[in-house]
Amino acid sequence: MRAVVVTAFGGPEVVEVVETAVPEPGAGQVRIKVAASALNPVDAGVRQGVFGGAGERLGLGWDIAGTVDAVGDGGEGPWGAGDSVVALAVGPVKALGAHAEYVVVDAGAVAAAPRTVDLVHAATLPLNALAAEQALELLELAPGQSLLVTGASGAVGGFAIQLAARRGVSVTGLARAWDEEFVRSLGAADFVSGGLGEGRRFDAVLDAAVLGEAALEGVRDGGVYVGAIPGANPASVRGVRTTAIGVIADGARLAELVRLVDEGVLTLRVAETYALDEASKAHARLAEGGVRGRLVLVP
C-alpha cells in the first residue's frame, strides 16, 4: 500500500509517498481502508521535527474516515467489514499514520461515520473536534461564564465555539476582521480582532491560535487558560490555572460528536482535496497559510 512518511525533517519537499506492507490488526484492533484523511498543523510539526524522531521513518496523519476492512481478535465490538467509520490515529511519532491507504487503530478509537455528510467532510472531525471537546472539559465552565477563543475561525476554535455556546457559555471569538460574520454564525456572542481590548478579561481563554502570554493576559485573576500544544502553555500568573490539550482517542466521545454533526450542531469545513500522491503539494499549501477549513488527502 501507499503511505505518506518523512525520513528527514524540513519543508514540504521532505514529504514522501512510499510503498509499504498493509498493517495487520492485533488483538482489540481494527483495520480501516482510508477514504479520506485531513492534514493538520500537527503533521507539519512532525515534518519539521518538533516532536523528535530523528533518524526514524515517521508516518503522518491523525484523522481517519473510511470503512472497516478487518478486525483483530477481540476487536470486533460493534464493528464489521464494510462499516463506515471515523477514528483517530493518536501520536505524532509513529511508523504509519492515517495518510495511507490502510490504517490500524484500537477498536475503542472508532465511531460510526456521520450519516449526513460524505467521508471527505467526515475526515475533518476527529482530531479537531475531540481537541475542542477535551479543552472545554479542562476549562470546566458553567453556563453564563465567559470564554475567549483565539483562532476562532480555525478548526479547533470553530468547534470550540459551537460546543461552548451549546453549553450556555458566553463566547467571544478572536480572529481576523474579515472572519467576523463566520465566527458569529458559529455561535459567538461577541467578536474581537487585532487584540483583546485594553483591560478586557474573561473567565477563561482557549488559546487555539497559540498566542501564549498575550492570550493569558485576557484571563481574569483566578481564571483558566488552556493552550493547544502540550507543554507550551505559559506559566501561571495572578492565580490563573494554565494547562494544555493532550488529545486522546475516545470512540465514545467521538460518537457523540458525530451525533452533533448529524443534528446540524457542528459545521465541517473542507478547503481543498488532494490525492495521496500530492501530499507534498498539500503541505506546501498549508504552509502558505490562509486556509479556511481543512485540506483533505484522498487515497
Residue 147: helix, strand or coil by DSSP?
strand
- Cα(270)–Cα(291) distance, integer angstroms: 10
Q: Are 142 and 133 in contact, with CB atoms under 8 Å apart?
A: no
User: What is the pairing mode between strands 241-244 and 219-227?
Assistant: parallel
Nearest to 165 by CA among 148, 189, 134, 137: 189
Enumerate residue ranges in the chain where pLDDT < 70: 74-76, 197-198
pLDDT score, position 76: 57
Under DSSP, the state recorded for 205 is E
Helix H or strand E encompassing 221:
strand 219-227
Second CATH level (architecture) for the domain 2-125+268-298: Alpha-Beta Complex (3.90)
Domain with CATH 3.40.50.720 in the chain: 128-244
Domain with CATH 3.90.180.10 in the chain: 2-125+268-298
**CA distances from residue 94 to 21, 98, 182 in whole angstroms, order as listed:** 15, 10, 36
Q: Which fold has domain 128-244?
A: Rossmann fold (3.40.50)
Q: Cβ contacts of residue 77 below 8 Å, gap of 6+?
A: 107
Stated pTM of the model:
0.95
- Cα(50)–Cα(64) distance, integer angstroms: 22
Q: Are 166 and 147 in contact, with CB atoms under 8 Å apart?
A: no
β partners of residue 86: 65, 111
